[in-house]
Chains A and B, each alone.
Chain A
Amino acid sequence: GQNIDQPTEMTATEGAIVQINCTYQTSGFNGLFWYQQHAGEAPTFLSYNVLDGLEEKGRFSSFLSRSKGYSYLLLKELQMKDSASYLCAVLDSNYQLIWGAGTKLIIKP
């Protein structure tokens, strides 16, 4: 079966750095997405990785290792507004999106 694993919940301090991991076992791989979802709101796109390595976009970076079936989202200089759920999703060999259950990130002052 296809599976995406993310931690259910993480807590971090304002101003700090946090890394949210995502591991996947899918039938094929055609890219990995990260989305942010604030409580009661729609998911919004953060990043897309299809090649190994780190993609940096402001305070947010996303890393991919296809050989390890592993990605992480790195959030720097955490702000209270970063409190949200972060969803990992993988495009499988049929270009179907497989979604993780999301990681709820709690930021404390």
Chain B
Amino acid sequence: IAGITQAPTSQILAAGRRMTLRCTQDMRHNAMYWYRQDLGLGLRLIHYSNTAGTTGKGEVPDGYSVSRANTDDFPLTLASAVPSQTSVYFCASSDGQHNSPLHFGNGTRLTVT
């Protein structure tokens, strides 16, 4: 079934640890995004990639890094997790056209203790 796969589904992480959230899509979409969703707030963009080999910073990039070595994969790394990074993380993709909808993965629920 075509779509976006995120892993892990959930994770409890000690502060200071490094963590990579995985995201893979099989729709051959050019654009991919990482959002975090916190209660009472809209989705906030962390990083994005318009095409393989390029990445850009979103609204809340500090403490996070991404890479886009190929079309399908877009991992998000927390170099040294802090409690404020406790959130639900969604990966999304689109064909890159501005009026095209985003396709979201099922999310990763991350708790930093």
Contacts and interface: CB of A to CB of B under 8 A. Distances in A.
B113 to A, nearest CB: 21
Contacts, number: 45
Interface residues of A, number: 23
Interface stretch (B18-26, B73-81, B103-111): B103-111
Nearest to A95: B98
The main secondary structure of chain B at its interface with chain A is: loop
Interface residues of B, number: 16
Given A42-B105, A42-B106, A91 B90 contact: no
Given A33-B101, A42-B90, A48-B99, A87 B106 contact: no
21 contacts: A31-B98, A35-B101, A41-B106, A41-B107, A42-B90, A42-B105, A43-B43, A43-B90, A43-B102, A45-B101, A45-B103, A87-B42, A87-B43, A89-B42, A95-B98, A96-B45, A99-B42, A99-B43, A99-B44, A101-B40, A102-B42
Closest 5 CB pairs of A and B: A99-B42, A45-B101, A42-B104, A99-B43, A95-B98
Interface of B: 40-45, 90, 98-99, 101-107
